């Protein structure tokens, strides 16, 4: 933190960022929704619903509602927030991993910038890490696309 900045300046910026997130999410905003979003962001290779439920401290049905709200379509068939997506796990096709969408990554950057500055200044996020995360994201999206385009097997 620069010498001329005070902790309350960062706290105010973080609060502003969280209030903007609350405005975007509307009535779907809850501490658990925010925690789930952060937990997905903290898992660059994806996280299962069970892991999310344990991390956030909610039941499986609870995390299903939260992930639906954060995803493309909520549980009522209405548009979701589009911040996360579920992709099949390469190692266990019946299981899905939740990852951030491009919109989710941008939103997370907006939430973190008041605390840490621009993404490029994060010490732990260098070009090779970003490239690896991007590569994994492409692989997961490709796996999802190939699963959607497969024709059903004849019985």
Domain ranges across the chain: 7-148
Q: Note the pLDDT of residue 47.
A: 93
Question: Was domain 7-148 assigned CATH 3.30.200.20?
Answer: no
Task: For the chain, give the percent of residues with pLDDT over 90.
Answer: 28
SS3 4: coil
Write down the mean pLDDT value for the chain.
Answer: 78
Q: What is the pLDDT of residue 1?
A: 46
CA 22 – CA 15 distance, rounded (Å): 10
Task: Assess whether pLDDT exceeds 60 at residue 150.
Answer: no
Q: What does pTM read for this prediction? A: 0.69
Which of 33, 34, 64, 35 has the alpha carbon at shortest distance from 48?
A: 64
- What residue ranges in 32-143 does DSSP mark as E strands? 84-88, 96-100
Reported residue count of the chain is 155
68-88 per-position pLDDT tens digit: 999 998 888 888 899 999 999
Q: Tens digit of pLDDT for each residue in 8-50?
A: 777 787 788 888 878 877 777 788 998 999 999 988 789 999 9
Answer yes or no: are the C-beta atoms of 107 and 97 closer than 8 Å: no
């Amino acid at each position: 933190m620069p010498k001329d900045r005070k902790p309350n300046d960062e706290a105010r910026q973080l609060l502003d960022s969280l209030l903007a997130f609350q405005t975007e999410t509307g009535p779907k905003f809850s501490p658990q929704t925010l925690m789930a979003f952060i937990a997905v962001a903290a898992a660059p290779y994806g996280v299962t619903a069970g892991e999310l439920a344990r991390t956030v401290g909610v039941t499986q049905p609870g995390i299903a509602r939260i992930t639906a709200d954060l995803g493309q379509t909520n549980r009522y068939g209405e548009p979701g927030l589009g911040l996360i997506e579920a992709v099949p796990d390469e190692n266990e096709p019946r299981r899905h991993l939740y990852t951030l969408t491009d919109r989710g990554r941008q939103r997370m950057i907006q939430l973190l910038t008041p605390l840490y500055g621009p993404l490029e200044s994060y010490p732990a996020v260098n070009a090779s890490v970003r490239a690896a995360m991007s590569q994994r994201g492409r692989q997961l999206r490709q796996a999802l696309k190939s699963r959607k385009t497969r024709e059903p097997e004849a019985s």
